Structure 1
Amino acid sequence: MKRFLSVLLTIAMLLGMVTISAMAEGEEPITITIYDAAANYHGIQKGWFAKVVKDRFNIVLDIVAPQVAGQEIYATRAEEGDLGDIVIVDKSEFPNLVQAGLVREINEITGKENLMRFKDQIEHYNKELTGEEGKFYGIPSEMTDTSPSSLTDDVVPDSPMLRWDLYKAIGAPEIKDLDGLVDALAAIHEIHKTTDAGDPCYAVTLWADWDNNDDMSGPANVTHITPWYGQKMKRSALLQADGETFLKVYDRAGAYYKATKFLNNLYQKGLVDPDSGSQDWNSVMNKWINGQADLLWYNWSVGFTNNNKDADGVPLKSKGETFFWIPITDSKYYAESDAYYGTARMFGVGSKVEGDKYDLILNFLDWYASPEGMTFQHVGIEGLNYTVNEDGTFSVLHDDALSANLPVPEEYVGEDGVVGYSDGNNAINQWIGASICVNPLTNERFPTKFWASYKAQEKEEDKTKAEWQEHFGAENAVDYMLKNGMLEPSPNVGFAAPKDEGEIKSLRPEINGKLCEYTWKAIFAKDDAEFEALWDEMIEELDGFDYDKLFENDVAAYQVEVDMKKAALGK
């Protein structure tokens, strides 16, 4: 019965898509420009995802990526009054677009069934934005269907992961602190200096094109380590684990200093990829796929490694050659609950869009939030990434399709002739519905690790997980953290910091620029004396640019979020 209902739902969705395509048959495709702060690719979407979109809507996606083309492209397009047809920007920037008339009202989304699965979250944001009921401008990114207090995933977003077989090979030592992690990585490097293909390996490989991203000041490679020690970057300020106290970013008692010194300690031992700081994200991604990094710290990064196979086609997970979180005894993790109200970015529609194009864009965004659209985004292509079981659930077919850039089925090859799955993957790189949501087509969450079929297969094949569970006496990373007092989830309240005004608006880029400049210099300091001298120089520079004023502004802004979290906890 479940399979029958799933088929009916799929047919209904496909019929709707066929109707849209039929109306556009024989017509020239319409180009939709997406100004996309999340994109790592600049240009026309290609490959299988381009064909999926063209077949359903007869549109071509032209992605404008400031992370690739340069941040000045924002000013240029804003001055022309046309940022894009679809606009994806940081949540803190979105009110500026509304005020500047760069995005339009999109009240008609209330009639869109798939978007209205997230009705509560969309209304919550827009009421905060406008102070009015029933007026809509923005759609939050990566909303969940859980609750503001749920912690659904089995890992936290930012946590250290080592390759299990290499960790075991050095004796699976207890790692008491970051110095202990440096020692462990140095020992791993002694036995893992190159990949099987002869490529050089390092403890970490870093990149700079995400600096000052996600509404945090400083290099992303540093700001995403601070949560290991219970501190979260809130623009230019560090919020401590107690949820009440803010530290200056350069405070030597803070986790930003600790994270930067950790990376410098690795550098002093020759464990940092020499291309770090000059290479871009795409280069790093390829090095992760090639197995050239021994430490990962984003929860999603294992998608580029753990599903890979060796040269003989043997899954790495069956050999224990996959990454898993390893405890650092003195860590205390800062992790927010599920992003029920969405993450740090917003979707909007450009103010120049109207008429049939406006209707087309709303239909596209509704599909983007639909079960079919989210399956393409979070799972992939039937017949390549997964198969459909008799009961309507999915089973993994090729979980290395992305990392191995496997060829897509012939029906997904478009006019551009691009056949690689990774080459044609969705370059928008931002979702409306989070992957943690339940897929109505299967009644299971989108990530494969939540599928009953995957769990059964994993029990037999994933040597890493079974050994990790036995070694650490826990089901998963979050289970271990909670059992050992290393994690206290913070409620997700959907807070959006106010936009910068007046002097703060000019101070922030100057201070952020100096912070990044000196942080990178400190990472590459030749010894402790040079590191400390650079840190002192950075403090002097930031204070000279009136950092105190920016810090006080940001503390005041995020105190509102702190108070909202306290209220959510009944404090």
Structure 2
Amino acid sequence: MQFRKVAAFVVAPVIALSALAGCGPDQEGTQPSSSAAANGEFPSEWSEEITIDVFAGLANAMGEQPGWFAKIVKDKFNMKLNIIAPNVAGGGDTLYNTRVAAGDLGDLIVTDKGKKLDELVDGGLLLDVSEYYPAMSNAAKYDEAITRLNEGKDGTYAFPTQVSSLKATDPSEGIDPTFGPFVRWDYYAELGYPEVGTLEDLLPVLKQMQDAHPTAENGKKVYGLSLFKDWDGNMMNNAKQPTTFYGYDEVGMVLAKADGSDYQSIIDDDSQYVRSLKFFYEANQMGLLDPESTTQNYDTLFSKYQNGQVLFSWWPWQGQSAFNTTENMAAGEGFMLAPVEDLKVFSYGAEPFGGKQVLAVGSEAEDPERVAAFIDWLYSPEGTYSNNSQTMGAAGPKGLTWDLNDEGKPELTEFGMKALAGGGADVPAEWGGGTYQDGASWLNTTLVLPIDTDPETGAAFSYKMWETFQEATSNPLYEDWSAKMGDAPTTMDYLRDNDKLMVAPGASFTAPADSSEIETLRNQVKAIIVQESWKMSFASSEAEFDSLLAGMQETVKGLGYDKVLEVDMANAKAQNELREEAAARS
């Protein structure tokens, strides 16, 4: 699961798509009649430079891909990537529907599987790449997942992301879970490592930290919690995060426990979601909640973490990524998982058949064979190292950020340590120039799960799991944390060994698209839920909090909340059935 801003698209009506069926691969000039790929191999070189449009639903940058990733793609495919990012462009629904109506979504498309994929296939906007599949030797390693994704379709139209050779019951995240209560461990240590029984018990601990360190080095005020609105959807996103500490994840308006033992309506008085809102309310009453939470975006908040202005993080890839630099950790400073006694952290199981997003070739692609070759390369070890996002432990290109040591083990180079664990670095001109972070792949998706094993090295693709990296980055912060956590080498080891982890088997579930009625009702009720949730978080008194909650419940029920809940509850239970089937296969 990715956690940068993801737009929720509205697929253009089927009628509009069907009208475009004549624009598919049978149209003259769209697809070559023969190719080298049909004989089991792609061309060894591509003589003509092309620029392809990449409609990337998860991308957080727009325009021509720069830097070292662009250099690799140019050298291998003589190709440039023009990223079309609805997240950045704004009005994602409009951009998507406009391009669909024009019959050309892009040369390469990153979209959601399920109804959206089906409608794009039926509408003739995606190309059947069966002609090129014989040459896709890297993708063929995941043939079962690809075949399953294209079941019921007359051809091969889509390729799964996040495929894995791991069991569905194995965590997918590596050394850290996706979620967890991460605190400034050095400040926590100063307090003598106080016991924390529950989520609520964190508040007085955070208050003591804040009182001891009221301002950061930049002179700005320090807050225990700081929030943002960017990812709000069916609910206030930040209020969903604490529910994951107790095994829950969202399915529309439902919180579903990873083991299928509980399903909650988010607006119920005793729901984990309302518990989170009360947690925020109490934090604000104590002066712990950043008042700029209602206006700042994720990037602004990230900079606050970098500057040491926030004491708590919902995710390891937030607080740790921003603040746990080599220099800070060497000084014993940084974010680490807090030992909350009643934790049962939700973990996404590996998905042998792939995740929510898929890649596809557009029916109007200028050079579909080359796009297919590019997709195939993304499944290769080289492509996996190069394309995975840095937050998932992407090691980057061999020879620049990592290489094999004398013992044949993968190890970060001096440059790699600076770029990946030292706060960033400038890339040499011969590798594309610019900063390392700016040059990373803008696709913001991975075709192979990073914690899978590279057959060429015998180690995981993720550098964070390498023995050499863990040895090289041993520091006072990790050593102190490990000593207090039963000598656990990693966060995941601590959670697993202490029965504080709940894995939801990877089932590749995709909720069906809402009917037009449910979509309309959902849009109405979610707007109220999000709006009132923020008000409750900053309520002036307990009485006001209770009044806002009661008002929200009454309003959304009057707008048809129960109909939406019925749909989401059915989806949550269908998801669990697939999880049980996936677990049985493991």
Q: TM-score range by the shorter chain?
A: 0.7 to 0.9
Question: Distance between the aligned counterparts of 2:56 and 2:404, measured in 1?
Answer: 33
Decide which of 405, 408, 415 is 2:424's aligned counterpart: 405
Secondary structure of the structure 2 residue equivalent to 1:276: helix
Aligned partner of 2:524 in structure 1 is 510
Aligned partner of 2:194 in structure 1 is 173
Distance 1:479 1:404, change over 3 A: closer
Aligned partner of 1:363 in structure 2 is 373
Aligned partner of 2:125 in structure 1 is 102
Aligned partner of 2:402 in structure 1 is 386
User: Equivalent residues in 2 for 1:477-488 (5 A)?
Assistant: 477-488=491-502
Secondary structure of the structure 1 residue equivalent to 2:81: strand
Letter of the aligned partner of 1:357 in structure 2?
D
For the 8 Å contact 1:148–1:341, the answer to whether it is kept is: no
Q: Say whether residues 1:226 and 2:248 are aligned partners.
A: no
Question: Distance between the aligned counterparts of 2:463 and 2:96, measured in 1?
Answer: 37
TM-score with structure 1 setting the length? 0.85
Question: Distance between the aligned counterparts of 1:78 and 1:186, measured in 2?
Answer: 51
TM-score with structure 2 setting the length? 0.83
Question: Distance between the aligned counterparts of 1:392 and 1:236, measured in 2?
Answer: 50
Question: Distance between the aligned counterparts of 2:361 and 2:526, measured in 1?
Answer: 29
Question: Distance between the aligned counterparts of 1:556 and 1:524, measured in 2?
Answer: 33
Aligned partner of 1:467 in structure 2 is 480
Aligned partner of 2:168 in structure 1 is 148
Aligned partner of 1:423 in structure 2 is 438
For the 8 Å contact 2:320–2:335, the answer to whether it is kept is: no
- Extract structure 1 runs of 4+ deviating beyond 6 A: 16-19
Distance 1:316 1:498, change over 3 A: same
Deviations 1:306-351 (A, max 9, x none): 6514xxxxx3222221221112222323323223332332222223
Secondary structure of the structure 2 residue equivalent to 1:401: helix
Distance 1:331 1:430, change over 3 A: same
Deviations 1:186-234 (A, max 9, x none): 222223333334344322332222223xxxx223322233211222111
Q: Say whether residues 1:500 and 2:514 are aligned partners.
A: yes
Distance 1:331 1:384, change over 3 A: same
Deviations 1:151-194 (A, max 9, x none): 36333211111122111012211111122111122222223333
Deviations 1:3-27 (A, max 9, x none): xxxxxxxxxxxxx99975x533xx4
Distance 1:100 1:296, change over 3 A: farther
- CA drift of 1:437 comes to 1.6
Distance 1:141 1:211, change over 3 A: farther
Distance 1:17 1:277, change over 3 A: farther
For the 8 Å contact 2:175–2:465, the answer to whether it is kept is: no
- CA drift of 1:501 comes to 2.5
For the 8 Å contact 2:320–2:336, the answer to whether it is kept is: no
Distance 1:264 1:49, change over 3 A: farther
Distance 1:517 1:78, change over 3 A: farther
Aligned partner of 2:546 in structure 1 is 532
Decide which of 125, 147, 151 is 2:149's aligned counterpart: 125
Secondary structure of the structure 2 residue equivalent to 1:442: coil
Secondary structure of the structure 2 residue equivalent to 1:489: strand
Question: Distance between the aligned counterparts of 1:31 and 1:253, measured in 2?
Answer: 54
Q: Say whether residues 1:88 and 2:110 are aligned partners.
A: yes
Secondary structure of the structure 1 residue equivalent to 2:314: strand
Secondary structure of the structure 2 residue equivalent to 1:395: strand
For the 8 Å contact 2:258–2:504, the answer to whether it is kept is: no
For the 8 Å contact 2:384–2:448, the answer to whether it is kept is: yes
Secondary structure of the structure 2 residue equivalent to 1:103: coil
- CA drift of 1:114 comes to 1.5
Letter of the aligned partner of 2:72 in structure 1?
V
- CA drift of 1:303 comes to 5.5
Aligned partner of 1:6 in structure 2 is none
Letter of the aligned partner of 2:227 in structure 1?
L
Decide which of 42, 47, 51 is 1:31's aligned counterpart: 51
Secondary structure of the structure 1 residue equivalent to 2:502: coil
Letter of the aligned partner of 1:492 in structure 2?
G
Deviations 1:234-265 (A, max 9, x none): 12211135504322121122211122322333
Question: Distance between the aligned counterparts of 2:232 and 2:363, measured in 1?
Answer: 29
Question: Distance between the aligned counterparts of 1:200 and 1:46, measured in 2?
Answer: 36
- CA drift of 1:453 comes to 1.5
Decide which of 553, 568, 573 is 1:554's aligned counterpart: 568
Deviations 1:443-471 (A, max 9, x none): 2102223212223334xx32222222221
Deviations 1:73-129 (A, max 9, x none): 2232223232222222334543343344433333333541122222222223332xx
Distance 1:529 1:88, change over 3 A: farther
Decide which of 267, 274, 278 is 2:295's aligned counterpart: 278
For the 8 Å contact 1:34–1:85, the answer to whether it is kept is: yes
| Number of residues of Structure 1 aligned to a counterpart in Structure 2 | 531
Distance 1:82 1:473, change over 3 A: same
Letter of the aligned partner of 1:432 in structure 2?
L
Distance 1:546 1:450, change over 3 A: same
- CA drift of 1:379 comes to 0.8
Decide which of 372, 383, 391 is 1:373's aligned counterpart: 383
Letter of the aligned partner of 2:381 in structure 1?
P
Q: Say whether residues 1:56 and 2:71 are aligned partners.
A: no
Distance 1:97 1:500, change over 3 A: farther
Question: Distance between the aligned counterparts of 1:411 and 1:180, measured in 2?
Answer: 53
Q: Say whether residues 1:449 and 2:467 are aligned partners.
A: no
Question: Distance between the aligned counterparts of 1:323 and 1:210, measured in 2?
Answer: 23
Letter of the aligned partner of 1:205 in structure 2?
S
- CA drift of 1:382 comes to 4.5
Aligned partner of 2:34 in structure 1 is none
Letter of the aligned partner of 1:287 in structure 2?
K
Aligned partner of 1:326 in structure 2 is 338
Secondary structure of the structure 1 residue equivalent to 2:355: coil
Question: Distance between the aligned counterparts of 2:43 and 2:584, measured in 1?
Answer: 50
For the 8 Å contact 1:30–1:59, the answer to whether it is kept is: yes
Question: Distance between the aligned counterparts of 1:566 and 1:382, measured in 2?
Answer: 39
Aligned partner of 1:7 in structure 2 is none
Question: Distance between the aligned counterparts of 2:535 and 2:515, measured in 1?
Answer: 30
User: Equivalent residues in 2 for 1:5-44 (5 A)?
Assistant: 22-24=45-47, 27=48, 29-44=49-64
Letter of the aligned partner of 1:291 in structure 2?
G
The alignment yields a C-alpha RMSD, in angstroms, of 2.8
For the 8 Å contact 2:41–2:134, the answer to whether it is kept is: no
Distance 1:250 1:443, change over 3 A: same
Q: Say whether residues 1:337 and 2:339 are aligned partners.
A: no
**Identity value in percent:** 30
Q: Say whether residues 1:112 and 2:133 are aligned partners.
A: no
- CA drift of 1:407 comes to 0.5
Distance 1:84 1:162, change over 3 A: same
For the 8 Å contact 1:393–1:441, the answer to whether it is kept is: no
Distance 1:357 1:19, change over 3 A: closer
